[in-house]
Structure 1
Amino acid sequence: MMRDINHFIGGRTVVGASGRFGNVFDPNTGEVQARVQLASLDELDAAIANAAEAQNGWAATNPQRRARVMFEFKRLLEAHMEELAHLLSSEHGKVIADSRGDIMRGLEVIEFACGIPHLLKGEHSQGAGPGIDVYSARQALGVVAGVTPFNFPAMIPMWMFGPAIACGNGFILKPSERDPSVPVRLAELMIEAGAPPGILNVVHGDKDIVEAILKHPTIKAVSFVGSSDIAQSVYALGALHGKRVQAMGGAKNHGIVLPDADMDQTVADLMGAAYGSAGERCMALPVVVPVGEETAERLRDKLLPAIEALLVGVSTDPDAHYGPVVSAAHKTRIEGYIQTGVDEGAELVVDGRGFELQGYEKGFFLSPTLFDHVTPQMKAYQEEIFGPVLQIVRAANFEEALALPSQHQYGNGVAIFTRNGDAAREFADRVEVGMVGINVPIPVPVAYHSFGGWKRSGFGDLNQYGLDGVRFYTRTKTVTQRWPRNIGGAVSDQSFVIPTMR
Structure 2
Amino acid sequence: MRQIEQFIAGGAAGSAGGSVSERFGDVFNPSTGQIQARVGFSTVADLDRAVTKAQAAQPAWAATNPQRRARVMFNFKTLLEANMQDLAELLASEHGKVVADAKGDIQRGLEVIEFSCGVPHALKGEYTTGAGPGIDVYSMRQALGVVAGITPFNFPAMIPMWMFGPAIACGNAFILKPSERDPSVPVRLAELMLEAGLPEGILQVLHGDKEMVDAILDHPAIAAVSFVGSSDIAHYVYRRGVDAGKRVQAMGGAKNHGIVMPDADLDQVVDDICGAAFGSAGERCMALPVVVPVGDKTADALREKLIPAIAALRVGVSTDSDAHYGPVVNAAHKQRVENWIQTGVDEGAELVVDGRGFKLQGHEEGFFIGPSLFDRVTTDMESYKEEIFGPVLQIVRAPDFETALRLPSEHQYGNGVAIFTRNGHAAREFAARVNVGMVGINVPIPVPVAYHSFGGWKRSGFGDHNQYGMEGVRFWTKMKTITQRWPDGGAGDSAFIIPTMG
TM norm. shorter chain > 0.5: yes
- Offset of residue 477 of structure 1: 0.5
Partner in structure 2 of residue 371 of structure 1: 374
Contact 2:352 2:374 in 1 (8 A): yes
Equivalent residue in structure 2 for 1:335, among 338, 345, 360: 338
Measured in 1, the distance between the counterparts of 2:311 and 2:243 equals 50
Q: Which residue of 2 aligns with 1:4?
A: 3
Q: Residues 102 and 152 of structure 1 are in contact (CA less than 8 Å); yes or no, is this contact kept in structure 2?
A: yes
Q: How far 1:219 sits from its partner (Å)?
A: 0.3
Distance (Å, rounded) in 1 between the aligned partners of 2:232 and 2:494: 56
How far apart, CA to CA, are the structure 2 residues paired with 1:196 and 1:39? 22
Matches within 5 A, 1:263-342: 263-342=266-345
State how 1:35-434 maps to structure 2 within 5 Å. Answer: 35-434=38-437
In the alignment, which residue of structure 1 is the partner of 2:25? Answer: 22
Which secondary structure does the structure 2 equivalent of 1:7 belong to? coil
Contact between 2:13 and 2:20, CA under 8 Å: does it hold in 1? no
Residue 49 of structure 1, CA deviation: 1.1
- Partner deviation per Cα, 1:277-328 (whole Å, 9 max, x = no partner): 0000000000000000000000000000000000000000000000000000
CA offsets 1:387-419 (integer angstroms, 9 cap, x no match)? 000000000000000000000000000000000
Question: What are the superposed Cα offsets for residues 418-447 of structure 1, whole Å, 9 maximum, x if unpaired?
Answer: 000000000000000000000000000000
Is the 8 Å Cα contact of residues 315 and 323 (structure 2) preserved in structure 1? yes
Once structures 1 and 2 are overlaid, which stretch shifts more, 39-48 or 154-163?
39-48
Counterpart AA for 1:385? I
SS at 1:9 equivalent: coil
Letter of the 1:4 counterpart? Q
Q: d(CA) in 2 for partners of 1:483 and 1:497?
A: 17
One-letter amino acid matched to 2:12: T
- State the one-letter code of the partner of 1:23: D
* Matching residue's letter, 2:498: I
For 1:101, the aligned partner's letter is G
Mapped contact 1:436–1:443 kept (Cα < 8 A): yes
**Partners of 2:474 and 2:491 in 1: how far apart?**
40
Q: Distance in 2 between matches of 1:290 and 1:261?
A: 10
- Following TM superposition, by how much is the alpha carbon of 1:500 offset from its aligned partner in structure 2, in angstroms? 1.1
Tell whether the 8 Å contact from 1:17 to 1:40 is kept in structure 2 after alignment.
no
**Structure 1, gaps ≥5 residues long:** none
> Displacement of 1:496 after TM fit?
4.7
Distance 2:194 2:431 in 1: 43
Q: Deviations over 1:31-82 (max 9, x none)?
A: 0000000011111111111111111110000000000000000000000000
1:13 aligns with 2:2: no
Please report how far the alpha carbon of residue 498 of structure 1 lies from its aligned counterpart in structure 2 after TM superposition: 3.0
Distance 1:268 1:429 in 2: 26
- In 2, Cα distance between equivalents of 1:459 and 1:377: 25
Q: What's the secondary structure of 2:12's corresponding residue?
A: strand
- Per-residue deviation, 1:499: 2.3
Report the residue type matching 1:500 in the other structure.
T
Distance, in Å, in 1 between the alignment partners of 2:145 and 2:230 is 27
> d(CA) in 2 for partners of 1:382 and 1:293?
22
1:443 to 426, 441, 446: 446
Structure 2: distance between partners of 1:49 and 1:495 = 42
2:13 partner amino acid: V
8 A Cα contact 2:27 2:36, kept in partner: yes
Q: Given that residues 147 and 224 in structure 1 are in contact (C-alpha distance below 8 angstroms), is that contact kept between their aligned partners in structure 2?
A: yes
SS of residue matched to 2:324: coil
Aligned to 1:500: 500
Instruction: Return the alpha-carbon distance in structure 2 between the equivalents of residues 360 and 14 of structure 1.
Output: 33
The one-letter amino acid paired with 2:483 is T
For 1:313 and 1:165, locate their aligned partners in 2 and report how far apart those are by CA, in whole Å: 38
Deviation at 1:14, TM superposition (A): 2.6
2: distance between equivalents of 1:9 and 1:380?
42
Q: How many residues align?
A: 498
AA in 2 matched with 1:88: L
**CA deviation after TM superposition for structure 1 residue 495, in Å:** 5.4
Report the Cα distance in structure 1 between the residues aligned to 2:494 and 2:393, rounded to whole angstroms: 72
C-alpha separation between the residues in 1 aligned to 2:494 and 2:343?
75
Question: What CA deviation, in whole Å up to 9, does each residue of 1:450-497 have, x standing for no partner?
Answer: 000000000000000000000000000001111012x3xx32125554
> Whole-Å Cα distance in 2 between the matches of residues 495 and 13 of structure 1?
57
2: CA distance, partners of 1:400 / 1:474: 42
Residues 436/494 of structure 1: CA separation in 2 closer, same or farther (3 Å cut): closer
Tell me, in whole angstroms, the C-alpha distance in 2 between the residues paired with 1:5 and 1:126.
Answer: 55
Distance (whole Å) between structure 2 residues aligned to residue 298 and residue 352 of structure 1: 22
- The one-letter code matched in structure 1 to 2:361 is Q
The whole-number CA distance in structure 1 between the counterparts of 2:83 and 2:223 is 32
